[in-house]
Chain A
Amino acid sequence: MNRFVWPLVAVIALLVFLVMGLRHGDPRALPSPFIGKPAPQFELPTLKNPEVTIGTNTMAGNYALVNVWATWCVMCRAEHPFLLELAANKAIPIYGINWRDSRLEAIRWLDDLGDPYLASAYDEDGRVGIDWGVYGAPETFLVDPDGIVVYKHLGPLDPVVWQREFVSRMSGGGQAQ
């Protein structure tokens, strides 16, 4: 009898690890190394006006969303109505990083679909995307008033994700602006 105990323990331990692995959710979602750290500094021309620049400093003082998007990104189109809703409700200031895109097409996209962003930075060559550890649009960062990255979401935003992952992380409900 005794000789079965250790193999049994080993098998159970293995099963526990396998189940934990399965429950991990989206295997593509990596933990962002920026959580709890200051948002990476950047300074880029805005999408609509190349003369004006925006950067990390622009967002300081409030909770803010930094949404990485592009016109070639299918899921960005899917989340766009929800971003518009957030903007209409003044839920939180939303900044965009237009990532590896064409300026003309991106502006046309905003004209056609509506513009939820206070401003979008135009990251033509993906340099700032790398600094932010972006590897697939859409990605959305929640930055706190001190400029610390609180959360990062990979994939489209929707009301459920918003309530569960974002609102719960903002003290004071995040009524900003």
Chain B
Amino acid sequence: MKRLFAVVATVLLVSSAFAIDEGKRFDDPEMQARYEKLISEVRCLQCQNQSIKDSNVSLAADLRREIARMIDEGQTDDEIAEFLVVRYGEFALYSPRKTGKTLVLWLVPFLLVLFGGYALLRVLKHRMSLPIGDDTEQ
């Protein structure tokens, strides 16, 4: 039991050594929170299925540095998102902005649910109108 505990503890300690340098530390906790949120929402273009928060490739580090700089300069989240989209396209953001071309991304799921609901209702209504005990449909 003690051994097991030691092994588990070792594994846990070692994994913390793999944690990526969070880079910038802000004095202001609100700015720090914004920074953490922003870097977790920007795609790492070199590795594509990680955010730049989770990646330690060089470009991710560069982008974390740029985002930290822009927060320091007092830019808003929207301005920072715009900075990234102008350079890398909408694809750089994990949660696309609710404007223009990406609006369709946000609307389609709702439209599909509406359409599905309507179809379901029609099928149910049709079934209800069948005589009880007739499951064969027609």
Min CB–CB distance A23 → chain B (angstroms): 18
- Interface size grouping (class) on chain A: 10 to 19
Which residues of chain A are near B62, meaning CB under 8 Å?
100, 125-127, 129-130
- With A28-B48, A30-B45 in contact, do A132 and B58 touch (Cβ < 8 Å)? no
Is A61's CB within 8 Å of the partner chain B? no
Chain B residues in the interface with A (C-beta under 8 A): 45-46, 48, 58-59, 62-63, 66, 85-89, 91
How far is A29 from B63 in the complex, measured between Cα atoms in Å? 19
Min CB–CB distance A163 → chain B (angstroms): 27
Which residues of chain A are near B46, meaning CB under 8 Å?
135-136
Instruction: Report whether A31 and B89 are in contact in the complex, using a CB–CB cutoff of 8 Å.
Output: yes
Which residues of chain B are near A135, meaning CB under 8 Å?
45-46, 59, 88
Nearest chain B residue, comparing its CB with the CB of A28: B48
Min CB–CB distance A113 → chain B (angstroms): 22
Instruction: Report whether A30 and B87 are in contact in the complex, using a CB–CB cutoff of 8 Å.
Output: no
The A13-42 residues at the B interface (CB cut-off 8 A) are: 27-28, 30-33
How far is A130 from B62 in the complex, measured between Cα atoms in Å? 8
Contact residue among A31, A33, A100, A125 (Cβ-Cβ distance under 8 Å from B87) = A33
Which residues of chain A are near B87, meaning CB under 8 Å?
33, 130-133
Give the A-B pair count, Cβ closer than 8 A.
Answer: 40
Which residues of chain A are near B59, meaning CB under 8 Å?
126, 129, 134-136
Nearest chain B residue, comparing its CB with the CB of A131: B87
Min CB–CB distance A26 → chain B (angstroms): 12
The A74-101 residues at the B interface (CB cut-off 8 A) are: 100
How far is A29 from B107 in the complex, measured between Cα atoms in Å? 26
Instruction: Report whether A136 and B45 are in contact in the complex, using a CB–CB cutoff of 8 Å.
Output: yes
Instruction: Report whether A130 and B66 are in contact in the complex, using a CB–CB cutoff of 8 Å.
Output: yes
Instruction: Report whether A100 and B58 are in contact in the complex, using a CB–CB cutoff of 8 Å.
Output: yes
The A117-151 residues at the B interface (CB cut-off 8 A) are: 125-127, 129-136
How far is A131 from B88 in the complex, measured between Cα atoms in Å? 9
How far is A135 from B87 in the complex, measured between Cα atoms in Å? 10
Nearest chain A residue, comparing its CB with the CB of B63: A130
How far is A30 from B91 in the complex, measured between Cα atoms in Å? 8
How far is A126 from B66 in the complex, measured between Cα atoms in Å? 10
Min CB–CB distance A4 → chain B (angstroms): 13
Instruction: Report whether A33 and B58 are in contact in the complex, using a CB–CB cutoff of 8 Å.
Output: no
Nearest chain A residue, comparing its CB with the CB of B91: A30
Nearest chain A residue, comparing its CB with the CB of B65: A125
Min CB–CB distance B44 → chain A (angstroms): 9
